[in-house]
């Protein structure tokens, strides 16, 4: 018997685990396929029964749907940890946006003075001092001492910039008192969230490095433990990929033809791909390009050929897919100079 599902996330984890444990074959029918093929069946209505019929019919007719297997414990754990990290990063962005929006209503100069997403010190300051009047009252010297007691780096610079911004505004804006309390609350939340992200990153590092491939993946420039964990969480043990070309296709780095009649050689970026995997290879390529080495040389070569920055990075990312595949296949660490193969 062959089973087909259109949900492969946590919602169907119990069902899939039971089916796989009993030796049943399960395939994944993408929701996009179900949506497109529904129009070929009678009736315009949409019901769960009709969707089930479409899924079953497509699984019966087509043999190219990907089989679903229960991921190993390590891969499943990394999927949870990396997914949770993405949620925490998104929450952090929302908190910073709310904080900056409230600060504009208190003191626009103070909002412009710091990059609250990159520096911890100004956020620590906002847990106690949020208004121009409070900053003017404490002054540079006492604010510097207060920040130093909380082990803030560059306390004197932060204090000077904050007081300078406060002295540029002598008018108290409407709702300042309540907005200041909200800013203080958001600042505390942001500091607590940063600690949660650090703890989660530490767990990702420890879990990822229990994988036998971790040392090989991390040896490649631009592939740190976070991107390496994302890679393992997405591709698993690579058994679902026939070769490097198939992996590049899944990552959206292999152009697909869109030819018609005499129009040939018309290539486009694929729409059906793993955006997360493409982002992973793009970020790792961009990071590797910034250091001297083969990646930077290849990037500069593509720029000299007339490619813009994004095109050159994508071309480099595609090349790095082949390199990473070969490294994992041969169980070999990255070396700037390709290994010499000996003739048989």
Domains in the chain, ordered, with CATH? Answer: 2-70 (no CATH), 75-208 (1.10.287), 214-258+270-330 (no CATH)
Read off the pLDDT of residues 30-43 as tens digits, 9 standing for 90 and up.
888 888 888 888 88
Per-residue pLDDT tens for 44-90?
888 888 888 988 998 888 888 888 877 888 999 999 999 999 999 99
Find out whether 205 and 218 touch, Cβ atoms under 8 Å: no
**Alpha-carbon torsion, ordered 142, 147, 153, 158, to 10 deg:** -60
pLDDT, tens digit, 9 for 90 and up, residues 78-114 = 999 999 999 999 999 999 999 999 999 999 999 999 9
Mean pLDDT of the chain: 90
Is residue 1 pLDDT above 90, yes or no?
no
State the helix-helix crossing angle for 275-289 and 225-235, rounded to 10 degrees: 150
Q: Tell whether pTM > 0.95.
A: no
pLDDT digits (tens, 9 = 90+) for 201-248: 999 999 999 999 999 999 999 999 999 999 999 998 888 888 999 999
The two structure tokens encoding residue 43: 């009736």
pLDDT tier at 341, thresholds 50, 70, 90: low
Per the DSSP assignment, residues forming a β-bridge with 263 are 260
The C-alpha atoms of residue 205 and residue 198 are separated, in whole angstroms, by 11
What contacts 271, CB < 8 A, 6 or more positions away?
none
Does 344 score more than 70 pLDDT? Answer: no
Q: Flag whether pLDDT at 338 surpasses 80.
A: no
């Amino acid at each position: 018997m062959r089973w087909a599902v259109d949900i492969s996330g946590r919602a169907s984890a119990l069902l899939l685990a039971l089916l796989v444990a009993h030796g049943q074959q399960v395939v994944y029918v993408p929701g996009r396929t179900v949506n497109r093929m529904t129009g070929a069946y009678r009736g315009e209505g949409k019901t769960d029964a009709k969707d089930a019929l479409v899924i079953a019919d497509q699984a019966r007719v087509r043999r190219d749907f990907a089989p679903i297997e229960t991921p190993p414990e390590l891969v499943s754990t990394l999927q949870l940890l990396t997914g949770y990290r993405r949620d925490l990063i998104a929450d952090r962005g929302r908190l910073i946006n709310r904080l900056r929006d409230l600060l504009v209503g208190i003191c626009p100069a103070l909002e412009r003075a710091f990059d609250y997403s990159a520096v911890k010190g100004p956020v620590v300051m906002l847990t106690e001092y949020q208004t121009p009047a409070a900053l003017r009252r404490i002054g540079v010297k006492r604010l510097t001492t207060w920040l130093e007691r909380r082990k803030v780096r560059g306390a004197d610079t932060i204090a000077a910039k904050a007081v300078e911004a406060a002295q540029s505004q002598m008018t108290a804006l409407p709702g300042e008192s309540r907005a200041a309390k909200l800013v203080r609350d958001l600042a505390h939340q942001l500091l607590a969230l940063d600690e949660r992200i650090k703890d989660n990153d530490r767990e990702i590092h420890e879990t990822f490095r229990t994988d036998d491939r971790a040392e090989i993946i991390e040896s490649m420039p631009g592939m740190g433990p976070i991107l390496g964990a994302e890679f393992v969480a997405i591709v698993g043990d690579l058994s679902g990929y026939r070769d490097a070309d198939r992996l590049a296709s899944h990552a959206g780095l292999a152009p697909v033809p869109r030819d018609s009649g005499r129009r040939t050689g018309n290539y486009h970026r694929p729409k059906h791909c793993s955006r997360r995997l493409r982002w992973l290879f793009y970020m790792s390529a961009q990071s590797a390009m910034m250091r001297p080495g083969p990646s930077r040389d290849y990037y500069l070569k593509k720029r000299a050929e007339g490619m813009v920055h994004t095109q050159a990075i994508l071309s480099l990312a595609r090349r790095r897919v082949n390199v990473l595949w070969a490294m994992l296949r041969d169980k070999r660490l990255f070396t700037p100079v390709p290994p010499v193969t000996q003739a048989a």
